[in-house]
Amino acid sequence: CCDFAPQRFLLQEPTPDGACFPFCRRIAHLLGRALAHRFIMPAASTNVMKDIRIHKLVLNICVGESGDRLTKAAKVLEQLTGQQPVFSKARYTVRSFGIRRNEKISTHVTIGNKDKAMQILESGLKVKEYELIKRNFSHTGNFGFGISEHIDLGIKYDPSTGIYGMDFYVVLERPGFRVSKRRKCQSKIGFSHKLTKTDAMKWFQAKFEGIILAKAYN
């Protein structure tokens, strides 16, 4: 590595294999530890704190009315995830839609288990043929999509239940995001550590070999 070394920097003769460790030590002394590591040390491994992973997966079915259809939709989510769904209420009264304020109109379930979330997400993406559009991704590094029939996920069709559409929403994170949510010593996430739309798109393409379209096609 030291064929170009000026003779005044050499503290001893080069070794038979051509390497000159004294000159490398001289570089470390003159240019500093950080720059010397680029010349004489192997490349550092990737930063594990920059790895992207699933934080949670939210499944939502909006029926638009309370009653028997909403109860059956909740059973579909419970059958799919094995968890107890939660009902969501309308915030406003909309007469044209026939809904009243505080009326239960939808049901959702949040999956925090990473393995289960990945399994259900992959089955949902399989229905979409691993194709999403750019508008599916948010500027905060999350993404979502919908399917029109829940039986495409492998659930057996039940005539008494019917067929329901379903929304998937995936929240991504990096290690260390909990500092913004913990109770003690809470702090902000640095700008360079936050997720962006581009990060989420690259993760989707690398993880699932997915295809991102500019816009939807019929």
* Residue 158 contacts residue 109 (beta carbons within 8 Å): no
Residue 36's pLDDT is what? 44
Residue 56 pairs with which residues in a beta bridge?
Answer: 171
Residue 112's pLDDT is what? 93
pTM (2 decimals)?
0.75
Residue 191's pLDDT is what? 92
| Helix (H) / strand (E) containing 21 | helix 21-31
**Reduced 3-state DSSP string for 96-158:** CCCECCCCEEEEEEEECCHHHHHHHHHHHHHHCCCEEEHHHECCCCCEEEEECCHHHHCCCCC
Residue 72's pLDDT is what? 94
Low pLDDT (below 50) residues in the chain: 2-12, 36-37, 39-44
